[in-house]
């Protein structure tokens, strides 16, 4: 019992203007080609279907490329936004640290000033 596969060969117009039809061949288990017993109209219908599927595949491949580009562009934009947000947080963090240092120094200076006001006068 031979296992059959259908393989097709493209058709179109050659550079010299001649055309060739798609030929359907069956292959046995050993990969030996056998001529198809199908009539020409069925072969041309199959060829047309293969051509349609080929065009659809080309369109899908182009759409896939466009979607990949959009995805990678979006990822790059997000990476840049995360970097900018991180920079802003670092600026805020440094500002808070400086504010805390200034506030601590001011409080220390006020405490020193209060102590000098409340200390007994030495005669």
pLDDT in tens, 43-98: 778 888 999 999 999 999 999 999 999 999 999 999 999 999 999 999 999 999 99
Separation CA 113–CA 84 (nearest Å)? 43
**In the predicted structure, residue 34 carries a pLDDT above the cut 70:** no
Distance of CA 28 to the CA centre of its chain: 42
Domain boundaries, the chain: 1-37
pLDDT level of residue 117 (50, 70, 90 thresholds): low
More confidently predicted of 93 and 3: 93
E strands, 1-123, are 5-8, 12-13, 19-20, 24-27, 33-35
| pLDDT score for 57 | 97
Average pLDDT, the chain: 77
Token representation of residue 35: 């001529």
């Amino acid at each position: 019992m031979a296992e059959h596969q259908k393989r097709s060969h493209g058709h179109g117009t050659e550079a010299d203007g001649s055309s060739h039809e798609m030929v359907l061949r069956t292959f046995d288990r050993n990969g030996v080609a056998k001529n198809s017993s199908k009539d020409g109209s069925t072969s041309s219908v199959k060829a047309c279907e293969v051509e349609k599927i080929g065009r659809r595949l080309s369109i899908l491949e182009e759409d896939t490329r466009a979607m990949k580009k959009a995805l990678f562009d979006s990822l790059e934009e997000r990476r840049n936004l995360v970097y900018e947000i991180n920079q802003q947080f670092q600026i805020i963090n440094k500002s808070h640290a400086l504010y805390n240092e200034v506030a601590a120094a001011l409080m220390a200076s006020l405490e020193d000033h209060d102590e000098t006001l409340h200390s007994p006068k030495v005669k």
